[in-house]
Amino acid sequence: MSKVRVAAFSLSLDGFGAGPDQSLENPLGRGGEDLHQWAFHTRTFKKMFGQEGGSDGIDERFAAASFEGVAAWIMGRNMFGAVRGEWPDESWKGWWGPNPPYHCDVFVLTHYARAPLAMEGGTTFHFVTDGIEAALDRARAAAGGGDVRIGGGVETVRQYLSAQLIDELHLPIAPLLLGEGEHLFTGLDLPGLGYTVTDNVQGEKALHVTVTKSG
C-alpha cells in the first residue's frame, strides 16, 4: 500500500530541522549542514553526487530506504530555492544542477504560478498554487500507486503533519544542539494527532527514529 512519508529528515537533538540565518550561500542556515553528516558518508549519498565509495552500515541502510518506492515528491518553495515573491524569470532551476536527484515528478508549493520545469534524468518540477491537499492529490496521481515523499522544508512538513496527511516519518537525530532555527514540533501535539514512535535504531552518526500515524 502506498504511503505519504517523510524520510531522512534530519533534526538536531533540540528539534531543529534548519539553522538560523538561511541564505543563498547557506541554504540550511548556520549549523544546518551539520545535521546531515550522518548521510554524507553513506554510499547512497556519495553516489547521488557522483562520488565513489561510502559506508555500508546502518546509516546507509536508512539512506537507501529513504528512496525506495518513492514515485513522486512534494517540497516547499524554500527547499526549491532562495527566490522570494514573484518569479523574476525562470532562470532559477533549483539547487541541484541540470540532473536533480529525484527522477520523477516533484510538486513545489508556492503562491506564484510558474510553468512546469523538465530537467535531465526524468525530474519535472510542477508549481502548485492551490495548497497542500491539491499538491498531494496531484502527487498521488503521478505516483501511480508508489509512495509520495514530503521532502521539506520544516514548514512544509509541519503543515502536512498538522493536517494528519503523513503516514510515516523517518527522523535521523543528529547528536548536536542548534539552539535556534526552524523547529519542527513547536505547537504540534503529535500524540493528539495520532502519531507514535514505532522504532529507533542507533546508526553510526545519528539515531534513526520512526514515527507512524496510527490507524
- The pLDDT of residue 81 is 87
Whole-angstrom CA distances from 81 to 21, 93, 153, 178, 182 are 15, 8, 11, 22, 17
Amino acid of residue 51: Q
pTM: 0.94
Domains and CATH numbers, the chain: 4-18+29-85+97-213 (3.40.430.10)
pLDDT for the residue numbered 28: 83
Count of alpha carbons within 13 Å of 69, Cβ hemisphere only?
Answer: 13
Neighbours of 189 (CB within 10 A): 10
What was the pLDDT predicted at 20?
Answer: 87
Backbone angles phi, psi at 127, to 5 degrees: -105, 115
Give the integer Cα–Cα distance in Å for 164 and 189: 11
Q: Residue 23 has what pLDDT?
A: 74
Q: Residues 6 or more apart from 88 whose CB is under 8 A from it?
A: none
As given in the structure block, the three cell numbers for residue 211 are 514515527
* Residue 29: per-residue pLDDT: 84
Alpha-carbon gap, residue 41 to 205, rounded angstroms:
9
Gap between the Cα atoms of 29 and 118, Å rounded: 28
Q: What is the DSSP letter of 42?
A: B
Tell me the C-alpha distance between 101 and 154, whole Å: 20
Strands 182-183 and 16-18: antiparallel
Chunk the chain into consecutive blocks of 10 residues (it has 215) and report each block's average pLDDT, rounded to whole numbers.
95 95 80 94 90 93 97 96 87 92 97 96 98 98 98 96 98 97 96 98 98 91
The residues pairing with 196 across neighbouring beta strands, listed in sequence order, are 212
